[in-house]
Amino acid sequence: METKPVYKSDIQIAQEAVMEPISVIAAKIGLGPDDIELYGKYKAKISYEAINNLPQTDEGKIILVTSINPTPAGEGKSTVTVGLGDALSQLGKKTIIAMREPSLGPTMGIKGGAAGGGYSQILPMEDINLHFTGDIHAITAANNALSALIDNHIHQGNELKIDPRRIIWKRVLDINDRALRKVVIGLGGPVQGVPREDGFDITVASEIMAVLCLAVDLKDLKKRISSIVVAYNVDKEPVTVGDLGVEGALTLLLKDALKPNLVQTVEHTPALVHGGPFANIAHGCNSVMATKTAAKLADFVVTESGFGADLGAEKFLHIKSRAAGLKPSAVVIVATIRALKMHGGVIKTELMTENVQALEKGLDNLKKHIETIKQFELPFVVAVNRFVTDTKEEVSLLLKWCEENGVSASLTEVWEHGGKGGLDLGEKVIQAIQNQENNFHSLYDVSDSLEEKITAIVQKVYGGKGVEFSTKAFRQLKEAEKNGWGHLPVCMAKTQYSLSDDPNKLGRPSEFTIHVRELIPKLGAGFVVALTGDVMTMPGLPKKPAANGMDVDDEGRAVGLF
Amino acid sequence: METKPVYKSDIQIAQEAVMEPISVIAAKIGLGPDDIELYGKYKAKISYEAINNLPQTDEGKIILVTSINPTPAGEGKSTVTVGLGDALSQLGKKTIIAMREPSLGPTMGIKGGAAGGGYSQILPMEDINLHFTGDIHAITAANNALSALIDNHIHQGNELKIDPRRIIWKRVLDINDRALRKVVIGLGGPVQGVPREDGFDITVASEIMAVLCLAVDLKDLKKRISSIVVAYNVDKEPVTVGDLGVEGALTLLLKDALKPNLVQTVEHTPALVHGGPFANIAHGCNSVMATKTAAKLADFVVTESGFGADLGAEKFLHIKSRAAGLKPSAVVIVATIRALKMHGGVIKTELMTENVQALEKGLDNLKKHIETIKQFELPFVVAVNRFVTDTKEEVSLLLKWCEENGVSASLTEVWEHGGKGGLDLGEKVIQAIQNQENNFHSLYDVSDSLEEKITAIVQKVYGGKGVEFSTKAFRQLKEAEKNGWGHLPVCMAKTQYSLSDDPNKLGRPSEFTIHVRELIPKLGAGFVVALTGDVMTMPGLPKKPAANGMDVDDEGRAVGLF
C-alpha cells in the first residue's frame, strides 16, 4: 500500500457495528428461544437440553487455525480465524467460529483483548474482553474454593495426612500480578491456619480451566475434577479432589460455566466463544463442548489453538482431538511478513522497513511448521495476514516461495475488509479439504512411555535433537509411570517464541536439546505436563499498564479497550 | 405447635416453585423489555437508561427490617423481609423488596445462602446463592486489579514513593479462607516484585463493595473510587486511586455490576437484590441504586440492614440515609424466642426446651433496640419470627410484654406460610406508618468531631459508658482530623453478637467501655471505620464445610444448597 489511510480503532469499529439480537443469530443455526439462556441482548449460553437434543453425529468440517512461532509483532491469528469464518459465510457455507474467551489479566496489562481485530472481530467486544458471561470468574471461584478447602483440611486435623510442603494445587487470580507468584500463607499464629509456601497462577493456567475445556458434559466434568491431584501425603502418595470429597461443590460452581457462549462477528456470523486454557501450561484450545456443538450445528467450524503450531496445534491434534474424537479437515497456518522478518533477525523497531533478505531467512520458521502439519498428514493452507507496512516486494517473495514449494497460500486482508478480505483464503481452504489428502494420525502412540512421547514431540514437532531430564524430572518420570500415569498424553510447557526451549532462538534452530525440568500430573485434564525452560504461569504488568488508558463514560460505554 | 410436621427444605421449595419470566415481573413495575438486560430467563439487570428515565421523585415508603443482636440460633431477618414484601403485595400494595446479594464464602462454609427461607425466599435461589449476575466477581476483579497496580507501581520505580509498609489496600477473595488472612507476597527475588506483608479480606469487606452500594450513578462511582486511600507515602501522606490514575479502569470493570438486579419471590413479588457490604467493616446495606430505584417504581420498599439494630440499622440511618437522602417510613425489629432465650443465658443445645424465665431476661436486648429506634423517632413494629419449637407460653409472654409496653408487635409465620404468614405484620406496619410519629433525625451532628460521633453512637445506640482509644487510634484520630476527614460519618466495626465490643456479653450489658483500636479512612465510601475488639474480615471454614454436602445433578440442578 502506497499511502497510509486513517484506520479506525478496534473499539470504534466494534461500537459502531450494529449487532443482531443474539436470538436472531441463534435462529440462523437452528436454535430456538428455549435453547439459549440470554446474558443481555447480545450474548447467550446454549442450554444442556438443547445440546443433548442435537443429533449425535458431528458432521461439520473443522478447520484449525494455527501460526508460525509468534513474536511481539503479532500474527493476528484470532483476526484470521474470525475473517475466515466470515468469508466462509459469504461463500454460502453454514459456518460457526469456535474461539477461546479472553483473560482479563492480559487485557488490563499489555496484550489487549482477544476478540479479533479491525473488521474481523467478535462482538460485543467490550463484554467479551471484560467479564463476559462469568466463566473465568467461576473457574477462579472453584479453584480458590479448593485451595481454601485443602488448607482448612490441614488446619482441622489433616485426616488425609497431606504434606503441606507437597501441595501442588495453587491459587489463581485473573489478573497479571507478579507479586503473587511466590507467597507465604497461613501466617499469624495457630488460629490462621498452617504456614506454608504457595503461589498464584493466572486463572487460565488453572487445571480447572483445562478440565472445563476437555469435559464432554457435567458428569464428565465432575469425574475429571474428582481425579485432580492436589498434593501428596506424608507417604508421598497422591491426594485428589475426590479424597477431599468436594468434587460436587466444585462442579456446582461450574454448572453454568460449562455451557458454550454464543456471540456474533461484525458480519453476524455465529461464534461460540468458550474456554481459554493457557497454551503453555495447558492445551490452549477452546472447549470441546463448544467445538462439538458447533460441528453439530454447522457445516464448517473455524477454530484456533494457542501460540504457534509447535504448541497449540500439536496439543489440539494430540490432546483435544484424541479426548473428543475430533478429526480436523484442514489446518490454516497464519504467517505475517513482520513476524517472518523478526525470525530472520530484524529487531522490532525496524520492522516497518522493507527487508527481503531477512524475510527470506525467516521463512525457515514457516517451513518447519508446514513440515509438522505434513507429518500429521492434514490438508493445509498458509494465510499471509497482510499488514499495511508490508511492501509489494515482500509479499510477492513470500507468495512465490509458497508457489514454488507447492504450498497453497492466500494473502488475506480480513483486518481491513472483514470476510471479503478472506474470500480467497476461504476458497483455498475448501479446495484443500476437497483435493488434499487427509490421513490424520498422531505422531506418537499414547501407549508409549512418557519419555518416548516427549522425545517424539521434540524431534518431530520442534525439530530438536533430543531431550534432557533434570534429576527431579527423571525421578518424577519414574514416579509417574509407577503411579500408572504413563499412558497419558504429554502436555508440553515451552516458550512460544522459539521452536526450542530458549526464547531467543528465533527462526528454525536445529541440533538443540529440550530440557525438561519438572513433570506435573494433571489427571483431571488427563495429561502430564512437562515443564521446559522458564514457563510463566503468572504474568506481570508493564510499566504503563493498559489499565491506565481505560475508562467508561457516564452512559457505561467502554473507552480505551483494544 | 404440638406436633412437628415434615417440612420441605429451602432448596426443595425453591426448585418446586414455578417462576414467572422476569420480563413479566418487570412489566408489573412498569419496566418494558428494553429497560432490562436478561441474565437467563429469571434474572435481569435494570439498564441505566431505564433508571435515568424514571421520575426524579422517590415516593415509595421505605420499611427497614432490622433485628435484635443476632445469635448462632438465627433470627430469619431476610426471611421476614421477603415475607413482609409478599404480605404487602397480598394486601394490594405495589411492593418491591430490596435486599443484599449473598456472598459465596459463607454459602460454601457454614452459614448457608442468604435468599430468605421456607416459603419466603427469593428465586432463583441457586443462582442468587452462587454467581448470580457476577457483581461480586466484578468487585473481586476490580479490588485485585488495584492491588496488582499498586505493587506494580512500586516494582516499576515507585514514582509516588508509596511506603510498602503502609499499604492499607488488601486483596480479596469471595471465599472463607483463613490461610490468606496474613501473607507475605513478592517473594522469589527482584523479578517477582517487592516483598511485603499483605492479607486477604472476603470480597464483601472490600471498600469497592461499600462504594458500589453508596454510589448514585457511574460518574459518582468513579469519583468515589478515585478518592479511595490505598496507602501512605514515605512522608506519611495518603495515596489515592486517583494518584495512580486507574479509577477509569476500575469503574469500567464495575460498569455492569452497578446496575440493580431484578428477581422475584416464591409469590412473584419483585425483588431488587444488589450489593452486600459487610455490616461490621462496612455499612451493611444493599445498594443506594437499588433502594432509590425501588422507591421510584413502587409504593412500598422493604429493605434490610446487616446484623442487629446496633450495627446495620445505625449505619443505614446514619450513613446510607444521609448519603442518599433517604427517609425511612418505618422500622421492623425482628426477634425470635430462641435468640431472646440465648440473650437470657440459655446455651444453644437447650433452646428447644421451654424457658420462660430466660426469655423474660433476654427481653432486655429487644428493649434496648426498641429504645434506639425510638431515639431516631421512627415508627416501628416488632416482628416475632415464629419457630416450630416456640411454646405457647413463651409466645404469649413475649406478645404480652409488647402490649404492656405499648409496642406494636406481630407474630409472623412467613417461613411456613409465605406472605399469608405476614399479613398481620404488613397491616401493623401500614398502621405504624399512618399513626406513629416520624421525626427521623440523626443521633449525631456530622460536623461533630470523630471522637464525639463515636461517643454518641456508643452511648445512645450501644448503651455504653464511653470510649477508650488505643494509642494508635488516638494518633490516627488526630491525623484524620488533620487530613480533613473529621467531617465524615463514622462506620463502627464491632462484634454483632453483643451491644458491647465483647461477643460474650449477651442480653443488655451496661457500664461498658468500647475500645477503639484503629481507625481506617474509607474515603471512597465516605466514612471513617473505627475498629473495636477483634473484627473478622476474612472468615474461616468449619470442620465440615457446607461444600462437602453440595453437588449438582447431570442436568445441572443444584443439590445441598441451603
Number of Cβ within a 10 Å radius of residue B452: 15
Any long-range contacts for B468-474 (C-beta under 8 Å, 24+ apart)?
B468/B513, B468/B514, B468/B515, B468/B516, B469/B515, B469/B516, B470/B515, B470/B516, B470/B517, B470/B518, B472/B517, B472/B518, B473/B516, B473/B517, B473/B518, B473/B519, B473/B530, B473/B531
Judged by CB atoms closer than 8 Å, whether chains meet at A155 and B179 is answered as yes
Angstrom distance (rounded) from CA A486 to CA A454: 11
Residue B488 has pLDDT above 90, yes or no: yes
A37 - beta bridge partners? A45
Q: What's the mean pLDDT in B485-503?
A: 94
**Cβ proximity of A527 and A320 under 8 Å:** no
> Phi, psi (5° rounding) for residue A116?
80, -165
DSSP class of residue B108 equals: H
Q: Which domains does chain B have, with CATH numbers?
A: 10-134+257-435 (3.40.50.300), 135-252 (3.30.1510.10), 450-531 (3.10.410.10)
Of residues B155, B177, B556, nearest to A148 (C-beta): B177
Map residue B557 onto helix, strand or coil: coil
* B110 Cβ neighbours under 8 A, 6+ residues apart: B176, B541, B542, B545, B546
At A1 the pLDDT is: 44
Over chain A, what is the mean pLDDT? 94
* B445 Cβ neighbours under 8 A, 6+ residues apart: none
Cell of A452: 518416548
**Cβ proximity of B469 and B514 under 8 Å:** no
Cell of A88: 466462509
Q: Which residue type occupies B389?
A: T
pLDDT range class, residue B75, cuts 50, 70, 90:
confident
Strands (E), A348-406: 380-385
Q: pLDDT tens, B92-134?
A: 999 999 999 999 888 888 766 678 889 999 999 999 999 999 9
Angstrom distance (rounded) from CA A338 to CA B20: 56
Q: Is residue A93 part of an annotated ligand binding site?
A: no
Residue B3 has pLDDT above 60, yes or no: no
pLDDT range class, residue A2, cuts 50, 70, 90:
very low
A452 - beta bridge partners? none
**Cβ proximity of A73 and A348 under 8 Å:** yes
Q: Find the closest chain A residue to B248 by CA distance.
A: A551
Angstrom distance (rounded) from CA A561 to CA B143: 19
Angstrom distance (rounded) from CA A89 to CA A268: 9
Task: Work out the angle at residue A484's Cα, subtended by the Cα atoms of residues A478 and A489, and round it to the nearest 5 degrees.
Answer: 85
Of residues B38, B149, B181, nearest to A192 (C-beta): B181
Residue A4 has pLDDT above 70, yes or no: no
Exactly one of A44, A50, A141, A279 is catalytic; which is it?
Answer: A279
Instruction: Identify the H or E element spanning B352.
Output: none
Angstrom distance (rounded) from CA A116 to CA A101: 11
**Cβ proximity of B75 and B343 under 8 Å:** no
Residue with cell 456446582: A252
Residue B2 has pLDDT above 80, yes or no: no
Residue with cell 509468534: A70
Angstrom distance (rounded) from CA B101 to CA B112: 13
Residue B448 has pLDDT above 90, yes or no: yes
Within B91-217, residue ranges assigned H as helices are 104-108, 125-129, 135-155, 207-214
pLDDT range class, residue A280, cuts 50, 70, 90:
confident
Angstrom distance (rounded) from CA B421 to CA B545: 32
Q: Quick one: CA torsion of A438, A439, A443, A445, rounded to 10 degrees?
A: 140
Exactly one of A307, A316, A512, A527 is catalytic; which is it?
Answer: A307
Q: pTM of the prediction?
A: 0.95
Nearest to B511, CA basis, from B558, B462, B548: B462
Q: What's the mean pLDDT in A88-92?
A: 98
Angstrom distance (rounded) from CA A45 to CA A546: 29
Angstrom distance (rounded) from CA B114 to CA B24: 24
Q: Is residue A71 part of an annotated ligand binding site?
A: yes
Q: Find the closest chain B residue to A145 by CA distance.
A: B175
Q: What's the mean pLDDT in A433-452?
A: 97
Residue with cell 492479607: B199
Q: Is residue A113 part of an annotated ligand binding site?
A: no
Tell me the shortest Cα–Cα distance from A296 to chain B, in angstroms: 20
Residue B1 has pLDDT above 50, yes or no: no
* DSSP string of B208-252, one letter each residue: HHHHHHH-SSHHHHHHHHHH-EEEEETTS-EEEHHHHT-HHHHHH
Angstrom distance (rounded) from CA B136 to CA A141: 11
CA distance to A98, A144, B125, B185, B542, per residue, from B560 (Å): 34, 20, 12, 36, 16
* DSSP string of A41-107, one letter each residue: SS-EEE-HHHHHTS-S---SEEEEEEESS--TT---HHHHHHHHHHHHHHTT--EEEEEPPPPHHHH
Lowest mean pLDDT among A554-558, B131-135, B141-145, B428-432: A554-558
Tell me the shortest Cα–Cα distance from B505 to chain A, in angstroms: 22
Q: Find the closest chain B residue to A48 by CA distance.
A: B555
Helix, strand and coil content of chain B, in percent to the nearest 5, comes to: 40, 20, 40
Q: pLDDT tens, B395-425?
A: 999 999 999 999 999 999 999 999 999 999 9
Number of Cβ within a 10 Å radius of residue A441: 10
Q: Is residue B471 part of an annotated ligand binding site?
A: no
Question: What region does B505 belong to: left with phi over 0, alpha with psi -120 to 50, or beta?
Answer: beta
Cell of A92: 454460502
Residues in chain A closer than 8 A to B178 (CB atoms): 151-152, 155, 186, 191-193
Q: pLDDT tens, A23-49?
A: 999 999 999 999 999 999 999 999 999
Of residues A174, A184, A552, nearest to B252 (C-beta): A552
Distance separating the N- and C-terminal Cα atoms of chain B: 24
Lowest mean pLDDT among A106-110, A115-119, B50-54, B226-230: A106-110
What distance separates the 2 farthest-apart alpha carbons in chain B? 73
Tell me the shortest Cα–Cα distance from B50 to chain A, in angstroms: 12
Map residue A230 onto helix, strand or coil: strand
Exactly one of A387, A469, A512, A527 is catalytic; which is it?
Answer: A387
Cell of A394: 515482500
Residue A186 has pLDDT above 70, yes or no: yes
CA count, 13 A, side-chain hemisphere, B458? 26
Q: What's the mean pLDDT in A181-195?
A: 95
DSSP class of residue B5 equals: P
Over chain B, what is the mean pLDDT? 94
**Cβ proximity of A73 and A342 under 8 Å:** yes
Q: Is the dihedral of CA B96, B98, B104, B106 positive or negative?
A: negative
Of residues A48, A156, A177, nearest to B148 (C-beta): A177
Nearest to B561, CA basis, from B78, B104, B83, B72: B104
CA count, 13 A, side-chain hemisphere, A225? 31
Q: Find the closest chain A residue to B220 by CA distance.
A: A554
Residues in chain B closer than 8 A to A558 (CB atoms): 252, 255
Instruction: Return the CA Rg of chain A.
Output: 23
**Cβ proximity of B381 and B429 under 8 Å:** yes
* DSSP string of A329-355, one letter each residue: SEEEEEE-HHHHHHHTT--GGGTTS--
Q: Is residue B195 part of an annotated ligand binding site?
A: no
A522 - beta bridge partners? A527
Angstrom distance (rounded) from CA B86 to CA B387: 19
DSSP class of residue B209 equals: H
Cell of A509: 534452530
Q: pLDDT tens, B302-344?
A: 999 989 999 999 999 999 999 999 999 999 999 999 999 999 9
Q: Which residue type occupies A73?
A: A
Q: Is residue B542 part of an annotated ligand binding site?
A: no
Of residues A155, A217, A556, nearest to B48 (C-beta): A556
A271 - beta bridge partners? A97, A263
Q: What's the mean pLDDT in A425-441?
A: 98
Lowest mean pLDDT among A259-268, A346-355, B238-247: A346-355
Residues in chain B closer than 8 A to A185 (CB atoms): 179-180, 183
Residue B481, Cα to own-chain centre: how many angstroms?
28
B381 - beta bridge partners? B332
Q: Find the closest chain B residue to A219 by CA distance.
A: B554
Strands (E), B17-147: 36-38, 44-46, 61-67, 95-99, 116-117, 120-123
Mutation for B interface: A11, A52, A192, most B CBs within 10 A? A192
Residue B5 has pLDDT above 80, yes or no: no
Instruction: Return the CA Rg of chain B.
Output: 23
- Quote ipTM for the complex: 0.94
Residue B4 has pLDDT above 60, yes or no: no
Lowest mean pLDDT among A538-552, B103-117, B494-508: B103-117
